[in-house]
């Protein structure tokens, strides 16, 4: 038996099987069970992948116990407070932080690609009024492959980078158009004189030829939210992107699947649900009643914005956003009614035994929902904002998967508990 291996004993037969232990740069050791079925004739069962590393990755590291998050080795606190979202995007894609010149060039390349083919407007037109912007966004991202079919070859590095730039540059425009169409508002084209995040807020808020006031603190807050969402290792939507990419589908299809996965309220839809839930609670007087519901085993009600699969002490992104929320509360006109309810819930949850025992701390969505609300971004756009932030991560993960020559199509096994073969009644 090698030192760096683990032995599994089948107690039924006494047979022993060795599996290698692989050491990561940092984090728990990993048992390589790729040969498990071949050697033992059995599958492993891991509901929700709580113990399974689905890939090798050099991009993002999370230590859930210590509340640590790093992109390419840089701490999230440093990136969120000292760097911009475009710096983080460049870092995720190109593995290094950009120099000033590299950042300027990158910004220019994205600006050049920020417009979308005019014919795509027919697609937006086809959606009914009040369509959810996520429905429009997921369709429009997949449709990009049809409108930009000149660069779809994933074996040509130049075409890969072209697709990456197009997706990152066009998603804010599609996102803003999705919202404007869903409300019957005239669309606003990108303003090339504005920075990435400022331009998005402008496309969301402006009227043709009209003046729109964008406070620097608003742009800064949204930029921070984007940076904090830029990657989060193998979360549900990134896993969806990787699974689709493993079939050799192009990134438009993969990213569109990521949008779908992120839509759910247990994932990117949580920040919208936070605000909807606060509105439903309605008054500080009702908080205790809803806390009791959240704690009741027989009640499916959950406090939105609390708990995390990986962070079990605190979410470092939530810590940064909590500070940002407090700063914005002083400078912007925040809905103090919702804030009062949120503050009471936060206070109770941080001290109540039920939440403390289960490590249910406020997560990033609790604070991002409140901040986006303060930025007057409509609730139905919250998940879209999450998509805009997460897109560079999805693209970096897609590129990494493509670079790994031993990459396999994702094809999990199952624990079949259905009927045995049945005899048809003739």
Question: Do residues 300 and 52 touch, judged by C-beta distance below 8 A?
Answer: no
Reported residue count of the chain is 426
CA gap 153, 151 in Å, rounded: 6
Phi, psi of 200 (to 5 degrees): -65, -45
The arrangement of strands across the sheet holding 74-75 comes to 60-63, 68-71, 74-75
Strand runs labelled E in 45-202: 60-63, 68-71, 74-75
For tokens 């496309």, the residue is 203
CB of 258 to ligand ACO, least distance (A): 13
Per-position x/- string for 280-319, each x denoting binding to ligand ACO as judged by CB under 6 A, each - no binding: --------------x-------xxxxxxxx----------
Cα–Cα nearest to 128, from 186, 207, 184: 184
Pick the stretch among 57-65, 95-103, 112-120, 363-371 that binds ligand ACO (CB under 6 A).
Answer: 363-371
Would you put residue 131 in left (φ > 0), alpha (ψ -120 to 50) or beta? beta
Size of the site for ligand ACO (CB under 6 A): 17
Provide the minimum distance between the beta carbon of 176 and ligand ACO in the complex, in angstroms, as a whole number.
Answer: 23
Shortest CB 295 distance to ligand ACO, Å: 7
Question: Which position among 169, 364, 381, 396 is part of the footprint of ligand ACO (CB under 6 A)?
Answer: 364
Stretch that binds ligand ACO, among 87-95, 117-125, 283-291, 356-364 (CB under 6 A): 356-364
- Residues 37 to 76: which contact ligand ACO by CB under 6 A? none
String of b and e for 81-113 (b: at least 16 CB within 10 Å)?
eebbbbbbbbbbbeeebbeeeebeebbebbbeb
Q: List the catalytic residue out of 87, 231, 315, 365.
A: 365
Comparison of 340 and 352: residue with beta carbon closer to ligand ACO:
352
How far is residue 339's CA from residue 346's CA, in Å, rounded to a whole number? 10
Alpha-carbon distance 66 to 156, whole Å?
A: 40
Q: Binding residue for ligand ACO (CB under 6 A) from 358, 403, 412, 413? A: 358
Active-site residue flag, 359: no
Choose the catalytic residue: 229, 232, 250, 308: 308
Q: Of residues 173, 234, 257, 363, which one binds ligand ACO by CB under 6 A?
A: 363
Hey, is 62 helix, strand or coil?
Answer: strand
Contacts of 284 (CB under 8 A, 6+ apart): 340, 341, 344
Considering the complex, what minimum distance in angstroms separates the CB of residue 319 from ligand ACO? 14
Measured CA to CA, the distance from residue 170 to residue 141 in angstroms comes to 9
Q: At what angle do helices 364-374 and 270-281 cross, to 10 degrees?
A: 70
User: Does 272 engage in binding with ligand ACO (CB under 6 A)?
Assistant: no
Smallest distance from the beta carbon of 238 to ligand ACO, in angstroms? 11
CB nearer to ligand ACO: pick between 68 and 302: 302
Sign of the CA dihedral with 316 first, then 322, 325, and 327 last: negative
Q: Measured between alpha carbons, how far is 93 from 393 in angstroms, rounded to an integer?
A: 8
Confirm whether 308 is a catalytic residue.
Answer: yes
Q: Report the residue number whose CB is nearest to ligand ACO.
A: 307
Q: 7 with 17: CB under 8 angstroms?
A: yes
Residue among 337 and 358 whose Cβ is closer to ligand ACO: 358
CB closer to ligand ACO out of 180 and 308:
308
Residue number, 62 or 160, with CB nearest to ligand ACO: 62
199 vs 224, beta carbon nearer ligand ACO: 224
Closest approach of ligand ACO to the CB of residue 76, in Å: 13
Nearer Cβ to ligand ACO (132/359) = 359
Binders of ligand ACO in range 241-270 (CB under 6 A): 266-267, 270
Binding mask 202-241 for ligand ACO (x = CB under 6 A): ----------------------------------------
Rounded to the nearest whole angstrom, what is the least distance from the CB of residue 300 to ligand ACO in the complex?
Answer: 9
Of 111 and 390, CB closest to ligand ACO? 390
DSSP state letters, 336-353: HHHHHHHHHHHHHHHH-H
The whole-angstrom separation of Cα 203 and Cα 381 is 13
Which parts of this chain interact with ligand ACO (CB under 6 A)?
Answer: 266-267, 270, 294, 302-309, 358, 360, 363-365
Q: Which residues are catalytic?
A: 308, 365
């Amino acid at each position: 038996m090698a030192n760096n291996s683990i032995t599994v004993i089948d107690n039924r037969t006494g047979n022993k099987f060795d599996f290698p232990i692989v050491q990561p740069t940092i984090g728990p050791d990993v048992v390589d069970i790729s040969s498990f079925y071949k050697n033992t004739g059995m599958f492993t069962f891991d509901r929700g992948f709580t113990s399974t590393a689905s890939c090798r990755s050099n991009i993002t590291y999370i230590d859930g116990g210590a509340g640590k998050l790093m992109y390419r080795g840089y701490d999230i606190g440093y990136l969120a407070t000292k760097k911009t979202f475009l710096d983080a995007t460049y870092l995720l894609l190109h593995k290094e932080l950009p120099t000033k010149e590299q950042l300027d060039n990158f910004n220019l390349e994205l600006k050049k690609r920020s417009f979308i083919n005019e014919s795509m407007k027919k697609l937006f037109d086809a959606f009914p009024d009040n369509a959810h912007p996520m429905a429009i966004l997921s369709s429009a991202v997949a449709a990009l492959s049809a409108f930009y079919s000149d660069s779809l070859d994933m074996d040509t590095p130049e075409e890969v980078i072209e697709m990456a730039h197009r997706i990152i540059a066009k998603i804010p425009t599609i996102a803003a158009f999705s919202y404007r169409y869903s409300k019957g508002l005239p669309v606003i084209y990108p303003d090339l004189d504005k920075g990435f995040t400022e331009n998005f807020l402008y496309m969301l808020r402006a009227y043709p030829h009209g003046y729109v006031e964008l406070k620097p603190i608003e742009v800064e807050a949204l930029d921070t939210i984007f940076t904090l969402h830029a990657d989060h290792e193998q979360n549900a939507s990134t896993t969806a992107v990787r699974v689709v990419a493993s079939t050799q589908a192009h990134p438009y299809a993969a990213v569109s699947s990521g949008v779908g996965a992120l839509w759910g309220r247990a994932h990117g839809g949580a920040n919208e649900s936070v605000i909807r839930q606060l509105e439903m609670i309605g008054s500080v007087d009702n908080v205790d009643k809803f806390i009791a519901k959240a704690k009741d085993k027989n009640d499916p009600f959950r406090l939105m914005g609390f708990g995390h699969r990986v962070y079990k002490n605190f979410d470092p992104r939530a810590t940064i956003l909590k500070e940002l929320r407090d700063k914005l509360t002083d400078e912007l006109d925040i809905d103090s009614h919702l804030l009062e309810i949120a503050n009471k819930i936060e206070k109770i949850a941080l001290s109540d035994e039920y939440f403390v025992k289960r490590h249910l701390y406020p997560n990033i969505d609790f604070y991002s929902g409140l901040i986006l609300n303060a930025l007057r971004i409509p609730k139905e756009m919250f998940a879209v904002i999450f998509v805009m932030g997460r897109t560079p991560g999805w693209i970096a993960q897609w590129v990494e998967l493509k670079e790994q020559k031993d990459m396999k199509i994702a094809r999990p096994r199952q624990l079949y508990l259905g009927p045995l073969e049945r005899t048809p009644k003739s």
